[in-house]
Amino acid sequence: MSLFCPKCGSLMYPKGGKMSCGCGYKSEEAGMIKDKKKSKKEVEIVEKEVEVYPIIKMDCPKCGNKESYYWTVQMRSSDEPETIFYKCTKCKNQWRQY
């Protein structure tokens, strides 16, 4: 099945169960286009927080865990250093370092 018209080379489009072209050409093959019915599947909701931040060895001041997620944010003007935020992988405590 070609999506291009053999007569003029334009892109063909579905019409009346056959492929048609703007120049008037219609494909001779019947039943080329099949209707795809959308299935009604239920969406599973997962209530789990997924962290995408990198992990670094940093002691949590609250629970003493040795690993933390980290990310940086430019809080002040561009000539000042970024602020580093940390989040404990165990107790989810957050803190920052300037």
Dump pLDDT digits (tens) for 66-96: 999 999 999 888 898 999 999 999 999 999 9
Per-residue confidence at 34, pLDDT binned at 50, 70, 90? low
From the candidates 29, 51, 59, 80, give the one annotated as an active-site residue.
80
Same domain, yes or no: 59 and 93: yes
% of the chain at pLDDT higher than 70: 87
Active site residue 80: yes
pLDDT at 31: 46
- Asked whether residue 90 is assigned to any structural domain, the reply reads yes
Contact residues for 46 (Cβ-Cβ < 8 A; gap 6+):
none
pLDDT at 22: 84
Alpha helices in 1-98, H assignment, sequence order: none
- Asked whether residue 49 is assigned to any structural domain, the reply reads no
Query: What span, in angstroms and rounded, lies between the C-alpha atoms of 20 and 49?
Result: 50
- Asked whether residue 45 is assigned to any structural domain, the reply reads no
- The residue range of the domain holding 21 is 1-33
Extract the tokens encoding 58.
Answer: 């940093």
Q: Tally the C-alpha atoms within 13 A of residue 61's C-alpha that lie toward its C-beta.
A: 5
- Asked whether residue 81 is assigned to any structural domain, the reply reads yes
Q: Taking residues 32-52, report their average pLDDT.
A: 72
Work out how many domains the chain is built from and give that number.
Answer: 2
From the candidates 28, 59, 79, 82, give the one annotated as an active-site residue.
79
Q: Taking residues 33-51, report their average pLDDT.
A: 73
Active site residue 59: no
